[in-house]
Structure 1
Amino acid sequence: MRQKTASGIPGLDNVLFGGLPQGNTTIVEGGPGTGKTTLGIQFLLEGIKKHNEPGIFITFEEFPDQIYEDMNLFDWDLRKLEKENKLRVIGLSPEVLMHQMVKPDGLFEEMIKEIGSKRIVIDSISLLKYLNGNERKNFCTLRNVLRKHGLTSILLQEQSGLTSGTASVEHFVFDGYIRLAMKARFHTLRKRTIEVLKMRGTRITEGEHRYRILDNGLFVQKSSLLSRIM
């Protein structure tokens, strides 16, 4: 049995029977406002604060200052953790990241070694689909480099237009696939659901589970078998 990495999301590790398998590359997909970035930061904070596992957050479209500001809403002081060499929040283009990942002793490897990173979040891999016109090659390279460095990885992705019965290339390439969604309920209300559709190396509790975004981040309520059937 592979060692598990705690996600830092209350309730999610119950769905995963103990957590993410160590070294897995996991897509977290969802639409705007579903809490993808919050989930990613929670995952990094779990490693930093409870397991002495420094982490890296790479963003393609946001400036680090915006990430700092957004996470202050949860009283998460990311700047302080950076000063303590426990965290790095880095803004890069997809082109630069992919180039540096395959470069011996490149920037990516240097960042990992500098803080001894064990966890990483990349936001968002959706942009890699349009890089060099070869999305499968890009995704395979990304997966292989992350595995090489022993990183347990959360790869954020914008919601695809696929139905629940279909999948795209990245869903096959990476080890795990978690979908966040907001669904209409009673016309005016919405409910948030999380579903683990794939996770190599561990059992999962299938079906959709409710989650909420609270003052201290995401909280997952594992659904009973009866509630998933009804």
Structure 2
Amino acid sequence: MRQKTASGIPGLDNVLFGGFPQGSTTIVEGGPGTGKTTFGIQFLLEGIRKQNEHGIFITFEEFPEQIYEDMKIFNWDLRKLEQENKLRVIGLSPEILIDQMVKPDGLFEEMIKEIDCKRIVIDSISLLKYVNGNERKVLYTLRNVLRKHGLTSILIQEQSAFMSGTVSVEHFVFDGYVRLAMKKRFRTLRKRTIEVLKMRGTRIAEGEHHYRILDYGLYVQKRSLISRLMQSLV
């Protein structure tokens, strides 16, 4: 049986029946304010703190200093973990990442070996679609390199056209697809929902589950089977 990798998100491993399959590649998609970056950092911290699995966070649009500052709200000292050689927060362009991924002994392989990396988060793959003008080729290259190195990977993506009923190529390419959303509840309130739409190699508790962003990060409340059945009848 394929080993599982704990997500670090309380409640989510119940939805995934144990966690992400080890070595899997999973898209985490959502709109602004849904906690995508927090999800990714929390996943890396789980590996560092509890599994002795070091991690890399690659950002295309933010400077590492901004990530450090944003995560202080949860009392996460990312600089300290970098100094301890357990974490890397790296800002670079999508073009450089893909170029270095395919080079033997390139920068990407060097970073992995330097800290014995087991987990990686890339924020966000939405920009990779424009590299070299061949979206499918770039996405398959990314997936294959991540699999080659045995990395359990979270690939953050901005909310896509899935909401309108169409499915993009990346939903077929990668092993898992998790969607974060904020929906209106009554007139002034909103509720946050998480749904695992796909996950190769593991059972999943289907349907939407509520989640919150608390002082220590994301928390998922798995909905009961009866609750999900009742929702489907409405």
Q: Place the TM-score, normalised by the shorter chain, in its bin.
A: over 0.9
How many angstroms does 1:167 deviate by? 1.2
Residue range with higher mean Cα deviation, 207-216 or 130-139: 130-139
Superposed structure 1 runs of 4+ greater than 4 Å apart: none
How many angstroms does 1:163 deviate by? 2.8
Unpaired stretches in structure 2, ≥5 consecutive residues: none
Letter paired with 2:116: G
Task: State whether structure 2 residue 59 is matched by structure 1 residue 59.
Answer: yes
How many angstroms does 1:131 deviate by? 1.2
2:161–2:167 contact (8 Å) kept in structure 1: no
Matched position secondary structure for 1:118:
strand
Matched position secondary structure for 2:100:
helix
CA deviation digits over 1:49-82, x for unaligned, max 9? Answer: 0000000000000000000000000000000000
How many angstroms does 1:132 deviate by? 1.2
How many angstroms does 1:165 deviate by? 4.2
* Alignment correspondent of 2:3: 3
Matched position secondary structure for 1:163:
helix
CA deviation digits over 1:128-150, x for unaligned, max 9? Answer: 11111111100000000000000
Equivalent residues, number: 230
* Alignment correspondent of 1:110: 110
Counterpart CA distance in 2 for 1:165 and 1:21 is: 27
Matched position secondary structure for 1:46:
helix
Unpaired stretches in structure 1, ≥5 consecutive residues: none
Q: Normalized against structure 1, the TM-score is what?
A: 0.99
* Alignment correspondent of 1:23: 23
Counterpart CA distance in 2 for 1:97 and 1:145 is: 11
Letter paired with 2:55: G
2:161–2:168 contact (8 Å) kept in structure 1: no
The Cα RMSD (Å) is 0.8
The alignment-based identity, stated in percent, is 84
* Alignment correspondent of 2:33: 33
Counterpart CA distance in 2 for 1:150 and 1:99 is: 19
Matched position secondary structure for 1:204:
coil
Counterpart CA distance in 2 for 1:99 and 1:191 is: 40
CA deviation digits over 1:86-133, x for unaligned, max 9? Answer: 000000100000000000100000000000000000000000111111
Letter paired with 1:204: I
Q: Normalized against structure 2, the TM-score is what?
A: 0.97
* Alignment correspondent of 1:175: 175
How many angstroms does 1:164 deviate by? 6.6
* Alignment correspondent of 2:101: 101
Residue range with higher mean Cα deviation, 130-139 or 79-88: 130-139
Matches within 5 A, 1:183-198: 183-198=183-198
Matched position secondary structure for 2:26:
strand
